[in-house]
Amino acid sequence: MVDRTENNIAHRATSMLAERSAELQPIWFRGEDISDADEPLLPPLLEESFRQWEREAAGLALFQAGRFVLLDKNADRLAATDRAPSEREGAALREASLSAASGRGPSLFEGNDEAAAAVPVHRRKDGAVFAVFAYESSVAAPLSLSEIQTCALHFRSCFYLHFEQLFVKDMLLQQKRAEKEAGRREALFHAAKRLYDQIDVSSVLSELLQSLEQLYPSSEAHLYLSQDHLNGDPRVKPLVFKNAERDIVAKAFLNGKAVTERDRDGTVRLAAPMTGKQAAYGVLCMSTDRERWDDSELPAFLLLADTSGSAFENAKLYEQSNLLINELRLINELTKRLNQSLRLKEIFQFAANELLTVFDADYCCVLQLDKETKQFVVMSCNFPPLASEQFSPEYGFCGIVYRTREPMIISDYWHTRVVTSKLMDNTGSRSLIAAPIIVDGEVVGIILVTNKLPNFFSYENYKLLQVMSTHIGLAVTNASLHAEVRRMVITDNLTGLHARHYLNEQIQRRQRKDHFGSLILVDIDYFKRVNDSFGHQVGDRILIQVSHIISASIRQGDIAARWGGEELAVYLPGIRAEQASRIAERVRARVQEETDPVVTASCGVSEWTFEDEKISVESLFYRADMALYEAKNNGRNCIIVG
C-alpha cells in the first residue's frame, strides 16, 4: 500500500512538471517571420490583416475624425478605412509615411488644413520596416501619436496572426502532400513489386492495368504494344502509326519521351513510352479530367511506365528463353525420331504429323521434287484429295519458295492472294507458313503448314519451321545416302540388275511367306567366243542388252540378278514352273531377235512348293542349274524345266 501511494504521488508530480514545462515551452511557429523573398506576396496578406484590424477596432473615435491608411515600405498605399481611393494623397500623409518608411520612427506632420501621423511596422527578427501604419485627419482634430502607435501594434498583431495561420496552413498542406506522396510511393512500390513478381507477359499486362485502376481510379488507361500479343483485354491494343505528328502515342514511342496533351473539353491525356534496357515495347496512355489531375503526379506515372517496361522485358525474355528451350528440345526429339527411319516415305509422313502437332495447324503438306519429271509430288498430306498430286515448280506457293529458296509467311490468304493455291482454296485455309527442304544446296522439297484462322502463325513459328525444315533436309539426305549405298550394294554396276546375294536374301524371305515360286537361270551361249571375236566391250554391251530384255519381260515384283559371269537369274514369286517356262521362252526369243551382234540364250527353270520336303535357296538353284546344264547339252538356245 505504501509503495502504491508513493508511486501515485510520483506520477502526479511528474505530470505536474510536464504540464508546467509545456506551459513554459514557447510555440515554435511564433518565432517564424517574413523575409525579403516574401515581399512580392505581402500586399494581399497586409490588406487582409488591415481589414481584420479594422473590424476589431471599429469602435474607436478616431474613425469619426479621420481615416487610417496602410502603406508598404515604399510608402505606396495598400488600403484605407474609407474604402474609396483618393484622387491624391495629402502632403502631410506623404511626408509622415516617407519618414516612417525610412526608419526614423513614428512621424507626425501638420499642413495647412491637414495633419498626419505614421508609424513604421517592424519585423520580429531583424526589426526591418515592412509596412507603414498611418492616420490622416484635419488640423482641427488633435492627433495623439501614442494612440496611433497603439493601433499600429494592434495591426501588427493581426498581421502576424494571419501570417502564422497562413504558415501553419502551408505546413499542413505540405504535410498533406508529403503524406499523399508517401502513399503514392508506397503504392508504386507495391505495384512495382507485383509487376516484377510476374514472369508471364499476360500477367504483367494485367497487373499493370490493375495498378493503374488503383492509382488513378477516375482515369481511363490504354496500352499500345509494338509487338503482337493476344491478351484478351480490350485496353491492350496494337501500336499503329496513323498520324505521327498529331498522335501523342506515336510521338511518345518515336521520341522516347512522355507527351502531355490538354483537350478543349478539359481532358488531360498522357502518353509515356514503356521501355526496357533493350527496346521500347509500347506506350502507356491515360486520360483524366483536368480537375482531378495534378502535375505532381506525372513523375509517378512515368515511373510506373518505366517499371512496367522493365517487367515486360523480363517476362518477354523469360518467355523467349522457355520458347527457345522448348524449341531445342523439340528439334532434338524431332531429329532423333527422324534419324530412326531411313525410308523417305516414312520420314515425310512422320514430319507432316509432327508439324501438325507442333504448330497446332489444320493442314500440312510435304512435297518432294521428282528429278526425272521436274514436278513436285505430294509425299504426305492430311488432306486426302491432294494425296499423290503433282505440281509444277512454277505453281502456287511451291513456286515462290522454290524460286526464292526462302521460307515465307502469309497472314491472310483471302485478303492477300498473291498466287493461286489449291491447298489453300480447297481446305479454306487463311494462314500459311512454308519452308524449303534443301539438300546439298538444292531445293528437294517444300513444306506447307496452314490454318483456317487469319493471323494464326507468329514470327516465332516462321523461324521454327525454318529450323525444322533444315533438320528434315538432313534426315532426307541421310535416307537418300542410305538408299544409294544400299542400291550400290545390291546392284550390279554393269547390268543394273540386282546382285546375287540380294537375290538369295529375297528368295529366302519369300519362301517364308509364299506357297510356291520359280527360278529361271539364263546363260548367253558361246559368250567366250563373243569376247574373243568382238572384244570385251562388245561382250559387256551384249550383257547389258540381255539384262534390259529380261527386265522388260518380267513383272515389277519379280527379281532379276546377275548370277555370275554371263549367267543371269530371275526369281518369280507366286509363279509355277509351267508359267515360268513361258516367260523364259519370251526372254529367249527376244534375245535372239534384239541383240546386236546376235546371240542366243539357254534357260533352266526350277520351282519350289510348300509341299517339298526340303525348301532352300540352294536346292532351288541346284535344280535350275542342272536344267541349264541339260539345255546346253541339248544344243543350246532352248529351255529345260528341272
CA distance 21 to 254: 65
Q: Which of 87, 67, 89 is nearest to 77 (CA)?
A: 89
CA distance 420 to 422: 7
Q: Which of 540, 519, 409 is nearest to 465 (CA)?
A: 409
- Lateral strand order in the sheet of 77-80: 77-80, 66-72, 129-138, 114-122, 107-110
CA distance 111 to 499: 146
Catalytic pick from 566, 567, 594, 611? Answer: 566
C-beta separation of 448 from 432 below 8 A: yes
Determine the residue type at 38.
D
Name 161's Cβ contacts closer than 8 Å, sequence gap at least 6. Answer: 49, 52
Determine the residue type at 174.
Q
CA distance 255 to 113: 73
Determine the residue type at 30.
R
Count CB atoms within 10 A of the CB of residue 421: 23
CA distance 223 to 420: 38
566 catalytic per annotation: yes
Cα angle 110-114-115, degrees, rounded to a multiple of 5:
45
The count of C-alpha atoms lying within 13 angstroms of the C-alpha of 166, restricted to the half-sphere facing its C-beta, is 17
| CA distances for 113 relative to 71, 83, 137, 331, 389, angstroms | 22, 22, 9, 111, 124
Q: Which of 322, 317, 235, 316 is nearest to 283 (CA)?
A: 235
Please state the φ and ψ torsions of residue 443, each to the nearest 5 degrees.
-75, 115
C-beta separation of 120 from 132 below 8 A: yes
What is the DSSP pairing of strand 567-573 with strand 516-524? antiparallel
Cα angle 263-267-273, degrees, rounded to a multiple of 5:
90
CA distance 361 to 431: 9
CA distance 208 to 230: 16
Cell of 256: 522516347
CA distance 185 to 276: 21
Buried b (16+ CB within 10 A) or exposed e, 332-358: eebbeebeeebebeebbbbbbebbeeb
Q: Which residues belong to the active site?
A: 566
